[in-house]
């Protein structure tokens, strides 16, 4: 830890730029949050509105999928290409998702009563 940490003071310009950048980024996060709240609200509304189940099920699953991608890529910063080894990490995450999907599929089809 010792010798790979370099303390480097930022120039005033750089500092202000970074501050601004962080603030803009935070604003984006709040917008994403608003979208997520909206999607959640929509999902509940669709169910309460009592449409046909064949319509509701795919729609709310889609909404959940979108919301999860938003969480992963904005709140959890998977969109941050400069983060160390993000490529490997997203490979692992998506491979986990593929396995999860396979499990849902098989447990719904080839476990019978």
List residues near other proteins by CB under 8 A.
1-5, 7-10, 15, 18-19, 22, 25-26, 29-30, 33, 36-37, 40, 43-44, 47-48, 53, 56-57, 60-61, 63-64, 67-68, 71-72, 75-76, 82-85, 88-89, 92-93, 95-97, 99-100, 102-104, 106-113
Q: What is residue 100's three-state secondary structure? A: helix
State the helix-helix crossing angle for 12-48 and 53-70, rounded to 10 degrees: 170
Q: Which is nearer to other proteins, 79 or 93 (CB)?
A: 93
CB of 47 to other proteins, least distance (A): 5
Contacts of 55 (CB under 8 A, 6+ apart): 46
CB of 50 to other proteins, least distance (A): 9
CA–CA distance, 99 with 69 (Å, rounded to integer): 17
CB of 36 to other proteins, least distance (A): 6
Q: Which is nearer to other proteins, 64 or 79 (CB)?
A: 64
CA–CA distance, 112 with 106 (Å, rounded to integer): 10
CB of 101 to other proteins, least distance (A): 8
CA–CA distance, 93 with 98 (Å, rounded to integer): 9
């Amino acid at each position: 830890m010792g010798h790979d940490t370099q303390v480097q003071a930022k120039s005033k310009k750089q500092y202000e730029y970074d501050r601004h950048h962080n603030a803009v980024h935070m604003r984006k996060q709040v917008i994403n949050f608003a979208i997520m709240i909206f999607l959640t609200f929509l999902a509940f509304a669709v169910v309460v509105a009592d449409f046909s189940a064949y319509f509701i099920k795919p729609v709310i699953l889609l909404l959940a999928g979108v919301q999860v991608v938003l969480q992963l890529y904005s709140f959890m910063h998977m969109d941050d290409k400069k983060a160390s080894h993000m490529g490997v990490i997203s490979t692992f995450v998506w491979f986990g998702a593929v396995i999860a999907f396979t499990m849902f599929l098989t447990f719904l089809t080839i476990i019978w009563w």
